[in-house]
Chain A
């Protein structure tokens, strides 16, 4: 509720520096308690079961790595290598694959509106909430054995430190040093498992400040946008490699999402 969040923000602004961490944790706990994230899962379920596309079928037979139609724990075991496409895919990339193969939709049509807004969230956002919700309580175990999984991890690791764009930024410009923050958001050192675990365990997530549901694709795209580089192509090798690097760094964490962010 707005009133509660408003007062929490005010309290934070006035808090002395030493109290920042516990205040921030308290704020996160409170927003999570009032999170409407389950509503996104409910609408996502309807969309998952809705027959659509040229083939007029639902996504219920989608194989997210655990077999056709198996949702339990699927998100927590991604990204991984898929034999049928001969590439590494994360949850959203795999959902897109199912839209194209099962439902017969074109990539253009399925991705017409990948990122929604508060008034109208996107189909992909609802679907990723629904799929991720089935992994609550599962240990995060992304693929690490196949050569392509190893290659994706290495590529992501490299991309994490590559300086690029107008401002000559890399991911490590913000996420490479302990103790940094932007306004009231702490900037975790994402190459450190200690910081990556709680974070990756709560994406995708509902964002309280603008009432929208955000996916990992959006997070990575928006980081690149903030770095003033061209945004990567949706579901591309770059995004999947980055997601692979972050998820492998966080592996072993218990998935708790979809989460709630500032």
Chain B
């Protein structure tokens, strides 16, 4: 079961700074003797439109933190961040730009 996520999105100098925390074991091949468990895909959407599609690997630490800077943005824009891991688990969180 996926643990919580937490996100903050703030406007600064015409850009939107997004910082998102996610709970995930991010277990590597070596740690698990061949049964790794890690987030593979990361998607950031603004008002329903995909702006970032990221592929990440087992090299990222447990409970990762990501931050992005998006050009433009306005107060109240809906930012959605979702992830999909190699076992098919998924989670997402949504927040409005403040």
Contacts and interface: CB of A to CB of B under 8 A. Distances in A.
A80 B5 CA distance: 34
Contacts of A211: 61-63
Contacts of A162: none
Q: Is the interface of B mostly helix, strand, loop or mixed?
A: loop
B4 A3 contact: no
20 contacts: A1-B61, A1-B64, A1-B65, A2-B60, A2-B61, A5-B61, A35-B65, A36-B63, A36-B64, A36-B65, A38-B6, A38-B21, A39-B21, A39-B22, A39-B23, A43-B3, A43-B23, A118-B62, A211-B61, A211-B62
Interface of A: 1-3, 5, 33-36, 38-39, 42-43, 118-119, 211
Given A1-B65, A42-B4, A36 B60 contact: no
A1 B60 contact: yes
Interface centre among B23, B25, B61, B64 (most CB of A within 10 A): B61
Interface in B1-47: 3-6, 21-23, 25
Interface centre among B5, B23, B62, B64 (most CB of A within 10 A): B62
B6 A42 contact: yes
A3 B61 CA distance: 8
Nearest to A35: B65
Contact of A39 (B25, B59, B60, B63): B63
A211 B65 CA distance: 13
Contacts of B23: 36, 39, 43
